[in-house]
Amino acid sequence: MNIFRSCVLLIVILGCNQLYAQKNAKKYMSMAASSIEKRDYDTAIQHLDVAIKKANKENKNRYTYLKGMVYHVQKDTANARTIYESIDSDSWDNSYKMAQSMLTVLDREVANAIAVEQRIADAEKFKSKLDSLAKTTNEIALTKKEDTVADFAVIESIPYMNSCSNSTSNTARKNCFNKEISTLISRNFDSGLASDLGLYGKISLMCQFTIDKEGHITAVRVRGSHPILRLEAKRVINLLPKMNPGMQKGKPVKVVYNLPIKFVVTE
């Protein structure tokens, strides 16, 4: 009987310790959230480190993922990548899956940065060529034709996913496209991040991205009050598949698409 009572007492003590540790972990997570809100990212990472140590396995993965997001928001690509890659594939929640898709965001951000640098370099070369030609006796005016960028609302033939191939008219494809986007956002956007960050009520984000002439998603931009939620919106948008490009006058063109994301978080 004494052995039984001792075992019960030990279980109770262990349970209380676990609950205390979890309460402490959430306290430090709350402190981290407050620091993120103030853009004090170094302090946020310190609080997250403590929360990770005290958390159970499920929350440990989630807090680790959030730590990667904080580095990502700081544009500390190396540390963000290291953190995302450290999350176990057997995690109890979706942290591993989300971390893997965030690695794709990192890769595309790097590719976009390289593309921007190349465009700047090309523009400088072009200006230099113009300056050189302008000095000749017969001045030659040159103009550089920029890629046409069409608006989704008015383009002759919108870009569309393969799942919308059966929709033959432009209107039907627009409806299908909007429905597919809405479904993807609702299934994949982690609105629980708002709760982790202590955000409640109506949350609004305005997103814009370009579907290029090959059907790839590029130039993702997000406006919103919280940097972590902006990053989450980028992650979800980058889950969109390669599409059939938009067409204008029979030729593929870049198409800009505007996407509002709105949801309500209750306590």
Q: How far apart are CA 108 and CA 82, in angstroms?
A: 17
- Expressed in angstroms, the distance from the first to the final Cα of the chain is 45
Average pLDDT per consecutive 10 residues, the chain (267 residues; last block may be shorter): 46 40 80 93 96 88 94 95 90 83 90 62 59 51 57 88 88 92 93 91 94 93 94 95 92 94 87
What is the structure's pLDDT at 138? 46
| Residue 146 confidence (pLDDT) | 53
pLDDT at position 116, please? 55
Residues in the chain: 267
Domains (range + CATH), the chain: 2-107 (1.25.40.10), 146-265 (3.30.1150)
Supply 88's token pair: 């176990």
How far, in Å, CA of 205 to CA of 216, rounded? 22
Token pair in block for residue 58: 């499920």
* Global pTM value: 0.78
Q: What was the pLDDT predicted at 6? A: 46
